[in-house]
Structure 1
Amino acid sequence: MAFSELLDRVGSLGRFQVLQSMALVMPIMWVATQNILENFSAAVPGHRCWVPLLDNGTALAGTPSALRPEALLAVSIPPGPNHGPHQCRRFRQPQWQLLDTNSTATNWSEAATEPCVDGWVYDRSTFTSTIVDKWDLVCDSQALKPMAQSIFLAGVLVGTTVTGQASDRWLPESARWLLTRGKVEQGLRELQRVAAINGKRAVGDALTTEVLLSAMQKELSVSQTPTNLGNLLCTPGLGLRTFVSTLCWFAFGFTFFGLALDLQALDSNIFLLQVLIGVIDMAAKIGTLLLLSCLGRRPMLAASLVLAGLCILANVLVPYEMRSLRSALALLGLGWIGGTFTCITIYSGELFPTVLRITAVGLGQMLARGGAILGPLVRLLGIHNPSLPLLLYGAVPVLSGLTVLLLPETRGLPLPDTIQDIQSQTVKKATHDTRGPSVLKSTQL
């Protein structure tokens, strides 16, 4: 009897596994909400330069009473790129000639302007306080906002590495892992506890150390094989899988956090957008999980990455005035990226043997965190060309999706336990491809 059969007997999908999943989902939900909180805590409110005529009570008292605030604003702040008051410049002196209805652009365009040397006035109608207005992260300091987001995500990476070890204090250890480490008695107690929680106490009581050792013969022999990161990169058959899977992990983190942490760029209601992202992301993950068993891992991962990239690239061609269409394309792109996470999580676990699976998945998740750190920084390229960030956010998943076609399909195949299992699968595939139509013909018969 193999160890997988033993797990089926004590309950491979029962009350114990449900409780485990719930224990993991709760902290993950808190982490997810904390990541997206930047959209609100770091929102950029509307702002303009502080000017004496409007914001200094003494100066305002000396102006003609007939002038309305709009007129005082027009003579104090030049128009900005969006045809509203400029957010980062002001006139050195009030331009009273602009009150003349016959004035033209040349009447003020040649007038000397200066930066907001006295600070800014912020619109607090939506957000009463954010880190942007607290520390004036606007104009020449606007690059500090994406840098702060990247530093936060870097802290998440460090925290994940440090606190990962602490999670063993409250999560039960894998019985398979305990047995491969020679802790037979402890592994037996864990299996008996799983059987009891799943309502199969009699099966658990019947387990003995002899039964466990017999079921673990293959795993115990595999555990003696030295494995490290070099095996993932240098072993024939594994190097390509490692490169493509880590590239897909990177594309997910890079694109998702690059877009999801800058919802204001869509110039729509960010509260509504955030709700829609949550709904679409959950629907995409559930739908992808159902389609994986029908369409396979490779086509689903490739399609989700490519379609996400195409939706993002399409926004480069959409005018900024078409806000609804831009928001819809961005939501579709983020939905496909959410589906990518489901695909790559399952697919990467099936691509690698048991002895290297945790190492491979951990490496991929580290690359995803690296992509998340880099994603917000790419927005700084928008200073030179507003389309550059979108081009990168779209091109990376498209290229990653195309490389997925180099991977083998794993749907319906047993999980490989050793490096030799991977190599034997590669040999069988090569033999299958060499025979070509004759193999397909014999299979049909």
Structure 2
Amino acid sequence: MSGVGEILKAIGDFGPFQKCLVLLTLIPCLSVAFHQFCQLFMVVNVPHHCDTSWILTVGPNLTQEEQLNLTLPRDANGEYEQCSMYSPVDWDLDSIVEYGLNSTQKCSSGWVYPSAEPPSLLTEFDLVCDRKDLNDIGQSIYMAGLFLGSMIFGPLSDRACLVLELPLCPISMCTWPSATEWIGVSSRPKAVLGSHCCFAIGQMILAGLSYGIRNWRLLEIAGSAPIFSFFFFIGVLPESARWLVTKGRMEEAKKVLQKAAATNKRSLPAGLLEQLKPEKKIKSGSFLDLFRKKHLRKVTLIMSCAWFVNSFVYYGLSLNVTNFGLDIYLTQLAFGAVEIPARVGCIFILQWFGRRKPQTVLLVLSGLVCLIITGIPEDQPVATTVLATIGKFASSASFSTSFVYTAELFPTVIRQTGVGLCSMSARVAGILAPLVRLLGQYHPAIPMAIFGGAPVLGGLLCVLLPETRGTDLQDDTGDNQTPTEVCENATSSSENGQVKGKGGGQVNEYTKTTYF
């Protein structure tokens, strides 16, 4: 019986058909990056003060400076307070000028924004003073939406799901599995790397769009409009041949395979399609297997922690772009640009140093950078931004490492479950990261200290994991072997170029497989 994998080899595992498919699935990555971080540029802080127009009823001829001088207290730097005002009184103007006002209160009639900037979310919804926390809470709610979207739509890879998912952001959860199932193992790293780089490019595009379009409504339209082009791609995107076979839809699978062969200008051997049979269902591991067995429990807990702290520091730095002191548009551009060499360089780092060392070092480095930032004076924005960029580089490279390392640590029967659990822990960190920023009202260094301490601890835990470079992937849950023993046996077998079967017989040639 010939499977889909053998047919894909015959039609080409990364020909024009697959390249076009990957290109179509990369488009949403640009928009996803926009939606994750666009709120930073829609709630940019602007000068403001309490609305004290009440005094104009007794002094209609007052200039603006006179009005503010009589009704607003000043801070230690001699600037008008932004969140407090003198309490209104029923005096005449002469009495107010002669005796002055002493009692203060919070703004009771709204705020005034003297700058000539276009309307923003901050100015339209008064996200200042006691209401400024709503910005971070809103970002956290958005991340919670991503979490729910991943849980609901992650298992779905149908084209119809795209229609439902357009209002949400985890579109790649539906499109990417379908694309990767058309691509050969050797070419998947390139395709996954492309998606990571497109996400980084999307961040750079966000910097340009937000700089040129200051009106938040127009910015939202400009960033969201491209995603609706997927309405026209739904009829073009093919179903996964593997998925069709598992569902018993053999004729549809044969037609789409023939189409792929024609696009790649390949001819299928006679009778190859006729040998295609529904694949037998393979018994898969359960969620409980991740915790029932001691060696898998250690891998699950440590890698879930690694994904959590990695996402924690990544979003901690990304969402803090407005507080580093330099121009936020240039900082965002640098944050997006630095991810490209981080993702590309990750491939070579993993080849040279394995998996465990890079995962540990990159996590610890990203955390140490955040801890150093807490000691940088506020009047050194360049130093702060440079350090933050280094931290973004390390956390981005660490994320790419996690994709490879996690897939190699979990056995095949529960690999999807294990990676899914780690991804969920990363989403939880994304929900918490904006809320941790609220602690900055007690001391500016508290959020960055938390963002720095967590990945240092998580990185050190990764030392306890086994190395997986150059080892064959484990298929079962290894009831009688630990991951270290499995890795050692696989490495020993690979050095001899063969994998031993029961009784010492030679089963088949060893093929090193790397999932990226």
TM-score (norm 2): 0.70
Task: Tell me if structure 2 keeps the 8 A contact 1:308–1:336.
Answer: yes
Q: Which residue of 2 aligns with 1:33?
A: 34
Gaps of 5+ in 2: 160-233, 492-516
| Offset of residue 175 of structure 1 | 4.7
> Residue deviations 1:269-320, cap 9 Å, x none?
1111111111112221122233222222222222221111111111100011
The answer for the alignment partner of 2:456 in structure 1 is 398
Rounded Cα–Cα distance in structure 1 between residues aligned with 2:411 and 2:21: 24
2:107 is matched with 116
Residues 429, 295 of structure 1: alpha-carbon distance in 2 compared, 3 angstrom cutoff: closer
1:207 aligns with 2:272: yes
The residue correspondences of 1:12-411 to structure 2 (distance < 5 A) are 12-52=13-53, 56=56, 59=59, 61-62=61-62, 69=65, 73-80=68-75, 84-92=79-87, 111-125=102-116, 127-164=117-154, 167-169=157-159, 172=238, 174-176=240-242, 192-203=258-269, 205=270, 207-208=272-273, 210=275, 220=280, 223-411=281-469
> Are the equivalent residues in 2 in contact too, given 1:254–1:393 (CA < 8 A)?
yes
CA contact (8 A) 2:325 2:382 kept: no
The two structures, once aligned, show a CA RMSD in angstroms of 3.6
Equivalent pair of 2:360/2:463 in contact (CA under 8 Å): yes
Query: Counterpart amino acid of 2:24?
Result: A
Contact 1:353 1:422 in 2 (8 A): no
Aligned counterparts of 1:189 and 1:417: Cα–Cα separation in 2: 32
1:90 is paired with a residue whose SS is strand
Cα separation, partners in 2 of 1:86 and 1:181, compared to 1, 3 Å? same
CA distance in 2, matches of 1:339, 1:174: 30
Partner of residue 474 from structure 2, selected from 413, 416, 425 = 416
In structure 2, do the counterparts of structure 1 residues 158 and 425 end up closer, same or farther at CA, with 3 Å as the change threshold? closer
Relative to structure 1, the CA distance from residue 357 to residue 11 in structure 2 (aligned partners, 3 Å threshold; closer, same or farther) is farther
Cα distance 1:195–1:360, how it changes in 2: closer, same or farther (>3 A)? farther
Q: CA 1:278/1:240 → structure 2, altered by over 3 Å: closer, same or farther?
A: same
SS in 2 for 1:238: helix
Query: Is this contact kept in 1: 2:293–2:479, CA < 8 A?
Result: no
Q: Quick one: distance in 2 between partners of 1:149 and 1:311?
A: 24
CA offset digits 1:404-423 (Å, max 9, x no partner): 11112222223322223994
**How many Å separate the matches in 1 of 2:155 and 2:330?**
38
Amino acid at match of 2:272: L
Given that residues 72 and 84 in structure 2 are in contact (C-alpha distance below 8 angstroms), is that contact kept between their aligned partners in structure 1? yes
Give distance in 1, aligned partners of 2:331 and 2:422. Answer: 29
**Secondary structure of 2:49 counterpart:** strand
Query: Distance in 2 between the 1:248 and 1:356 partners?
Result: 19
Q: Secondary structure at the match of 2:59?
A: helix
| 1:428 to 1:39, Cα distance in 2 relative to 1, 3 A | closer
How has the CA–CA distance of structure 1 residues 193 and 301 changed in structure 2, closer, same or farther, with 3 Å as cutoff? farther
Which segment is superposed worse, 151-160 or 14-23?
14-23
Q: How many Å apart are 1:13 and its aligned residue? A: 3.3
Tell me the alpha carbon deviations over residues 301-358 of structure 1, each in whole angstroms, 9 at most, x when there is no partner. Answer: 2222111111111110001111111111112212211112211122212221222222
Q: Contact 2:472–2:487 (CA<8 Å) still a contact in 1?
A: no
User: Counterpart amino acid of 1:120?
Assistant: W
Aligned mates of 2:57, 2:321 — CA distance in 1? 37
Shift of 1:23: 2.4
Q: Is the 8 A contact 1:44 1:133 kept in 2?
A: no
Q: Percent identity?
A: 32
- 5+ residue gaps, structure 1: 100-106, 434-445
User: Partners in 2 of 1:294 and 1:5 — Cα distance?
Assistant: 31
Judge which range, 289-298 or 4-13, deviates more.
4-13
Partner of 2:229: none
Structure with more helix by fraction: 1
